[in-house]
């Protein structure tokens, strides 16, 4: 009887062409497509040869390959068709043809797509295309891994252009994620270049893009020519780089060449902004990268960012290139106009719905009120604003503006980075701030509540109790507040805030008047809780029990009995700072809960027994700071001290530790199980690691990123061993250490080192040693040298040439470094913190004015004016373009070498137009 087409079966014999040992005895399995739904893929693929019995017609209908092979007069069911293909892929393809669901993933997409393309299976090709289009269009966590994406792109570059475009667009939109992938260095040059040029390229900042391109070039330096590097780096908008990074660009040859060819670099835009805006040049390099996929904008450290640059970035590209618009923008810059009033007509611009976070810290040219106006129109979904060291604003007015204009904001950081001025050390005058004790104004109407949950006001010296009352009225959902260094808020004001903000669980109030009333407010439901409180909290639940973070370092006037009571209620406490307080052991013994992760009891009188108790109760402790705790070395407490570190080693896994009195090599041995992942260690006065401890440290803590050593016995061998072994080290401080050292200590290359402090440990240092140091530590951004008496005025040039991107330089008792002036240091344009003391005078009375003019990022300035009167130096006029807010001028009166020095220090702080002057007498 003749067979019909529907009865014809075909046997497909599949052998993997890449299978090893093909001469072995055949190990085969026979299966049928009639049982496709019951196939056990794992079991089937254990065999080297697959024999699959399949309906001929189904194969012909669904595969052009089999249509050509099996069409015509093919009738013999006993003949086998040899298929040389990957067994797993072919099995999946055949299963899909006969009705089994096809499971496409980023790992198997390419193999299935390539197989379907080879066998001409259009239905499967269509499914693959739909899956890829959907996967590459999804937002959020990327669903296609970077190495798989590269493979798909490379496959598409040979056959299908639309695959390349899909991959390039996907990589451009998710570029920040790609930068964090270990395989980023494996991205092909052509894919990388096309991605950077893509209009959907999304990065947080130009520095982020530049940093990773330089890393990619370093990873591919063997195959990446200089021309290719320059082509790649030319895509960077150099004018938008942070100033400290732009100042150090000459350390990268290819980037330096690109910058020299650019008419508008960061420094040019800062000093001559009109040069960049006038003419017929493309304004693209002045526009901040913003796309519909941008979620975070990081402009920190860019003093060249002005309201005009911000406005330009919000305009559509075609609109910003029109001559009329360009002229209006130039006019705005000339007249120093804000982004309000006359500029309103320019505000028909783009809206970026995805942006939820902005960082404009250290951008002195960007007035906050203008910035808020811009953000409210262009970033309607903004939830986080960081504006540290943006000084020219009134806190009260700005907070109200933020609440009105950006209603979705939940996290605001307005930190001012200054050394806190302790209230007992200064005289606050009524003319500067108004009376602290004046009654709070009565509010006419209760303002609408905001979404703010986190508010950082650290260092703001104009914040008063009235501001705290306004905050408590507006921020009903507040969970975190930082008032560190806010010297005008009272204990009563803080306690009132605590009583009003019922969700508050994190308080940072170091160096304020936080005291007994605030502790009592945290301890109990008192008169501050009105009828509103009942709606937000359950009865009989103490506020202290919700506390997760409490920082009250340096705060006085706290009853230890009340603090002990609060500690007994703080079952959820995770982060506790009691440094420089009168805390007693009972406070630690009464500490409730077991969730503590950070504990700082530096410079307190706590004992080893109390510390051991806390450690035993809190196995999740990650950070412990106990430097300056002399009671850890009390007579008869050696056993307790040993048990303390043994207990710490048994139960905890530390990231950071700070120790001093009573700490030794034996203590370090006890800590061994807890410090294998340690990132930072500080050993202060009273701690002695010894030769064995310092030698053992890199072996036990290979991931250390920060080391601070005071009064330790060191040597060249120990330093070299640390620097060679700790390749992740970013910060090193050797202060007042003993032992014989020489220039050999720093002959080790340390490209990752960013901060270096050498205080009275390198008296041998000469200019040649400084040059060697700059070559081995080429990427420093902070340098502090104390007691290097053999240096001279040429050292300044070595510093400015070797580390042009320095943000902080401290030179004290360094020979004659400043004897011929300090002009060479001004070449480090990104300097934020400058300290020059006892370096051979040479500082002229106009120095402050020159520094403010030539160092746009300068925030802190400390110097000595030898044999001069206070009235002989100039105080410059400060405006919105300057960050300088902290100045110390010291007049030195030295009788002779080795004699004690009496120093009077004048501290000046700018608060708008008001200047606070405080005279502090010190004896050193």
**pLDDT tens column, 732-759:** 999 999 988 898 888 899 989 999 999 9
Structural domain including 226 reads: 203-405
> Do 35 and 125 belong to one domain?
yes
Nearest to 702 by CA among 683, 721, 682, 684: 721
Decide if 896 is inside a domain: yes
**Top-confidence residue, 658 or 140:** 658
Q: What separation in angstroms does the CA of 83 have from each of 66, 91, 115, 119, 700?
A: 11, 11, 12, 10, 56
Q: What separation in angstroms does the CA of 748 have from each of 288, 623, 745, 752?
A: 39, 30, 8, 12
Instruction: Kindly indicate the confidence band of residue 654, based on its pLDDT and cuts at 50, 70 and 90.
Output: very high
Query: Does position 879 have pLDDT exceeding 90, yes or no?
Result: no
Query: Does position 192 have pLDDT exceeding 70, yes or no?
Result: yes
Query: Does position 528 have pLDDT exceeding 80, yes or no?
Result: no
Compute the half-sphere exposure of residue 247: CA atoms within 13 Å on the CB side of its CA: 30
Instruction: Give 182's DSSP letter.
Output: G
Instruction: Give ∠ CA 524-473-458 in degrees, rounded to 5.
Output: 80
Q: Is 860 left (phi over 0), alpha (psi -120 to 50) or beta?
A: beta
> Do 791 and 902 belong to one domain?
yes
Nearest to 209 by CA among 142, 147, 288, 146: 288
- Lowest-confidence segment of 210-214, 288-292, 426-430, 459-463 by average pLDDT: 426-430
The alpha carbon of 192 is separated from its chain's Cα centroid by a whole number of angstroms, namely: 24
Percent of the chain with pLDDT over 90: 36
Q: Which two tokens stand for residue 383?
A: 């939830």
The confidence score (pLDDT) of residue 826 equals 87
Query: Does position 235 have pLDDT exceeding 60, yes or no?
Result: yes
The confidence score (pLDDT) of residue 922 equals 39
Decide if 392 is inside a domain: yes
Decide if 676 is inside a domain: no
Q: What is the DSSP string of 293-313?
A: T--EEE-TT-TT--HHHHHHH
Domain termination residue (choose one: 202, 232, 255): 202
> Do 184 and 302 belong to one domain?
no
Q: What separation in angstroms does the CA of 767 have from each of 284, 295, 373, 469, 772?
A: 44, 47, 51, 57, 9
Query: Does position 728 have pLDDT exceeding 90, yes or no?
Result: yes
Query: Does position 39 have pLDDT exceeding 50, yes or no?
Result: yes
The confidence score (pLDDT) of residue 426 equals 43
Predicted TM-score (pTM) above 0.75: yes
Domain count within the chain: 4
Query: Does position 186 have pLDDT exceeding 70, yes or no?
Result: yes
> Do 116 and 171 belong to one domain?
no
> Do 130 and 86 belong to one domain?
yes
Domain termination residue (choose one: 344, 372, 405): 405
Instruction: Kindly indicate the confidence band of residue 881, based on its pLDDT and cuts at 50, 70 and 90.
Output: low
> Do 10 and 117 belong to one domain?
yes
Nearest to 884 by CA among 860, 905, 854: 860
The confidence score (pLDDT) of residue 433 equals 35
Q: Give the CA radius of gyration of the chain.
A: 34
The confidence score (pLDDT) of residue 221 equals 84
Decide if 887 is inside a domain: yes
Specify the pairing of strand 549-551 against strand 914-923: unpaired
Percent of the chain with pLDDT over 70: 78
Compute the half-sphere exposure of residue 612: CA atoms within 13 Å on the CB side of its CA: 17
**Top-confidence residue, 806 or 853:** 806
Q: Which two tokens stand for residue 70?
A: 């099996």
Decide if 598 is inside a domain: no
What tens digit of pLDDT does each residue of 534-588 get? 444 555 444 567 899 999 999 988 899 999 999 988 889 999 999 999 998 999 9
Strand, helix or coil at 173?
Answer: helix
Among 72-86, 321-335, 675-689, name the most confident range: 675-689
Query: Does position 892 have pLDDT exceeding 60, yes or no?
Result: no
Q: What is the mean pLDDT of residues 320-341?
A: 60
What tens digit of pLDDT does each residue of 353-412 get? 999 999 999 888 888 887 888 888 889 999 999 999 886 677 777 888 888 888 999 999
The confidence score (pLDDT) of residue 578 equals 96
Specify the pairing of strand 914-923 against strand 902-911: antiparallel
**238-273 core/surface letters (b: 16 or more CB in 10 A; e: else):** bbbbbbbbbbbbeebebbebbbeebebbbbbbbeeb
Query: Does position 24 have pLDDT exceeding 90, yes or no?
Result: no
Instruction: Kindly indicate the confidence band of residue 336, based on its pLDDT and cuts at 50, 70 and 90.
Output: low
The confidence score (pLDDT) of residue 484 equals 94
> Do 854 and 896 belong to one domain?
yes
The confidence score (pLDDT) of residue 159 equals 64
Instruction: Kindly indicate the confidence band of residue 496, based on its pLDDT and cuts at 50, 70 and 90.
Output: very high
Q: What separation in angstroms does the CA of 112 have from each of 89, 105, 402, 778?
A: 6, 10, 53, 49
> Do 821 and 790 belong to one domain?
yes
Nearest to 836 by CA among 814, 863, 861, 860: 863
> Do 226 and 370 belong to one domain?
yes
> Do 278 and 384 belong to one domain?
yes
Instruction: Give 655's DSSP letter.
Output: S
Cβ atoms < 10 Å from Cβ of 445: 6
Q: What is the DSSP string of 459-498?
A: T-TT--HHHHHHHHHH-TT--EEE-TT-TT--HHHHHHHH
> Do 306 and 384 belong to one domain?
yes
> Do 104 and 228 belong to one domain?
no
Instruction: Kindly indicate the confidence band of residue 682, based on its pLDDT and cuts at 50, 70 and 90.
Output: very high
Instruction: Kindly indicate the confidence band of residue 45, based on its pLDDT and cuts at 50, 70 and 90.
Output: confident
Domain termination residue (choose one: 84, 119, 135): 135
For the chain, how long is the longest CA-to-CA vector? 125
**Top-confidence residue, 180 or 531:** 180
Query: Does position 718 have pLDDT exceeding 90, yes or no?
Result: yes
Decide if 774 is inside a domain: no
The confidence score (pLDDT) of residue 725 equals 93
Supply the CATH number for residue 108's domain. 3.30.710.10
Instruction: Give 2's DSSP letter.
Output: P
Decide if 871 is inside a domain: yes
Decide if 682 is inside a domain: no
Instruction: Kindly indicate the confidence band of residue 329, based on its pLDDT and cuts at 50, 70 and 90.
Output: low
Instruction: Give 499's DSSP letter.
Output: H
Query: Does position 34 have pLDDT exceeding 80, yes or no?
Result: yes
Q: What separation in angstroms does the CA of 750 have from each of 251, 729, 765, 810?
A: 15, 8, 18, 20
What tens digit of pLDDT does each residue of 471-495 get? 998 888 999 999 998 988 999 999 9
The confidence score (pLDDT) of residue 632 equals 84
């Amino acid at each position: 009887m003749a067979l019909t087409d529907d009865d014809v079966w075909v046997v497909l014999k599949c052998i993997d062409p890449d299978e090893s040992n093909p001469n072995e005895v055949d190990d085969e399995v026979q299966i049928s497509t009639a049982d496709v739904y019951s196939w056990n893929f794992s079991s089937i693929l254990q065999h080297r040869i697959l024999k699959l019995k399949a309906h001929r017609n189904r194969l012909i209908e669904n595969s052009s390959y089999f249509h050509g092979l099996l069409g015509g007069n093919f009738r013999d069911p006993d003949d086998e068709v040899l298929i040389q293909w990957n067994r797993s892929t072919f099995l999946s393809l055949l299963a899909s043809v006969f009705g089994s669901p096809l499971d496409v993933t980023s790992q198997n997409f390419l193999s299935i797509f390539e197989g379907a393309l080879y066998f001409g299976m259009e239905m499967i090709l269509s499914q693959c295309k739909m899956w890829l289009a959907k996967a590459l269009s999804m937002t959020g966590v990327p669903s296609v891994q970077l190495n798989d994406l590269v493979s798909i792109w490379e496959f598409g570059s040979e056959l299908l252009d639309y695959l390349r475009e899909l991959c390039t667009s996907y990589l451009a939109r998710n570029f920040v994620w790609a930068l964090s992938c270990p395989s980023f260095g494996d991205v092909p040059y052509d894919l990388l270049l096309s991605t950077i040029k893509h209009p959907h390229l999304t990065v947080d900042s130009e520095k982020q893009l530049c940093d990773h391109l330089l890393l990619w070039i370093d990873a591919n330096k063997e195959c990446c020519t200089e021309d290719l590097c320059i082509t790649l780096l030319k895509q960077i908008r150099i004018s938008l780089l942070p100033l400290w990074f732009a100042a150090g660009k000459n350390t990268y040859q290819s980037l330096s060449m690109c910058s020299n060819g650019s008419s508008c670099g960061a420094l040019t835009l800062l000093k001559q902004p009109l040069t960049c805006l006038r003419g017929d040049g493309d304004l693209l390099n002045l526009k901040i990268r913003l796309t519909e996929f941008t979620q975070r904008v990081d402009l920190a450290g860019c003093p060249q960012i002005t309201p005009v640059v911000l406005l330009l970035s919000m305009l559509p590209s075609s609109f910003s290139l029109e001559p009329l618009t360009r002229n209006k923008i130039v006019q705005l810059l000339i007249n120093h106009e804000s982004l309000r009033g006359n500029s309103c007509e320019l505000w028909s611009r783009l809206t970026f719905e995805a942006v939820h976070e902005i960082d404009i810290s250290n951008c002195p040219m960007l007035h906050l009120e203008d910035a808020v106006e811009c953000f409210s129109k262009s970033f309607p979904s903004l939830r986080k604003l960081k504006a540290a060291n943006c000084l020219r604003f009134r806190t009260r007015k700005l907070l109200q503006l933020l609440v009105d204009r950006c209603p979705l904001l939940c996290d605001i950081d307005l930190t001012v980075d200054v050394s806190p001025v302790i209230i007992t050390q200064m005289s606050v005058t009524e003319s500067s701030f108004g009376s602290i004790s004046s009654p709070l104004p009565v509010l006419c109407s209760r303002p609408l509540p905001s979404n703010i949950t986190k508010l950082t006001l650290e260092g703001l010296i104009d914040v008063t109790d009235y501001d705290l009352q306004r905050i408590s009225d507006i921020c009903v959902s507040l969970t975190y507040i930082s008032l560190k260094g806010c010297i005008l808020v009272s204990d009563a004001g803080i306690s009132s805030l605590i009583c009003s903000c019922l969700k508050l669980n994190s308080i940072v109030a170091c160096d304020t008047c936080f005291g007994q009333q605030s502790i009592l407010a945290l301890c109990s439901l008192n008169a501050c809780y009105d009828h509103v409180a009942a709606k937000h909290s359950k009865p009989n639940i103490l506020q202290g029990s919700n506390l997760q973070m409490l920082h009250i370092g340096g705060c006085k006037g706290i009853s230890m009995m009340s603090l002990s009571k609060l500690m007994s209620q703080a079952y959820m406490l995770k982060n506790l700072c009691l440094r420089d307080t009168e805390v007693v052991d009972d406070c630690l013994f009464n500490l409730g809960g077991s969730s503590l992760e950070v504990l700082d009891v530096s410079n307190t009188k706590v004992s080893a027994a109390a510390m051991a108790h806390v450690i035993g109760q809190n196995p999740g402790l990650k950070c412990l700071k106990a430097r300056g705790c002399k009671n850890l070395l009390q007579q008869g407490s050696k056993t307790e001290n040993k048990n303390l570190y043994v207990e710490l080693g048994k139960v905890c896994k530390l990231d950071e530790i700070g120790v001093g009195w009573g700490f030794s090599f034996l203590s370090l041995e006890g800590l061994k199980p807890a410090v294998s992942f340690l990132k930072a260690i500080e050993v202060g006065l009273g701690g002695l690691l010894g030769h064995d401890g310092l030698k053992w440290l890199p072996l036990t803590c290979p991931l250390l990123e920060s080391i601070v050593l005071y009064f330790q016995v060191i040597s060249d061998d120990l330093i070299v061993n640390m620097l060679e072994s700790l390749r992740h080290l970013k910060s090193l401080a050797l202060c007042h250490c003993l032992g014989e050292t020489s220039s050999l200590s720093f002959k080790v290359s340390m490209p990752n080192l960013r901060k270096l402090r050498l205080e009275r440990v390198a008296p041998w240092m000469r200019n040649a040693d400084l040059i060697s140091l700059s070559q081995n530590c080429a990427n420093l951004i902070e340098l502090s040298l104390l007691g290097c008496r053999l240096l001279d005025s040429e050292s300044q040039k070595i510093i400015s040439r070797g580390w042009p991107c320095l943000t902080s330089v401290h030179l004290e008792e360094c020979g004659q470094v400043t004897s011929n002036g300090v002009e060479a240091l001004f070449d480090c344009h990104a300097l934020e913190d400058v300290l020059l003391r006892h370096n051979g005078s040479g500082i002229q009375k106009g120095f402050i004015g020159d520094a403010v003019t030539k160092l746009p990022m300068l925030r802190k300035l400390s110097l000595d004016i030898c044999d001069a009167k206070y009235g002989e130096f100039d105080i410059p006029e400060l405006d919105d373009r300057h960050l300088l807010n902290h100045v110390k001028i010291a007049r030195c009166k030295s009788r002779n070498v080795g004699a004690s020095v009496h120093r009077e220090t004048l501290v000046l702080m700018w608060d708008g137009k008001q200047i606070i002057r405080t005279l502090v007498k010190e004896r050193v």
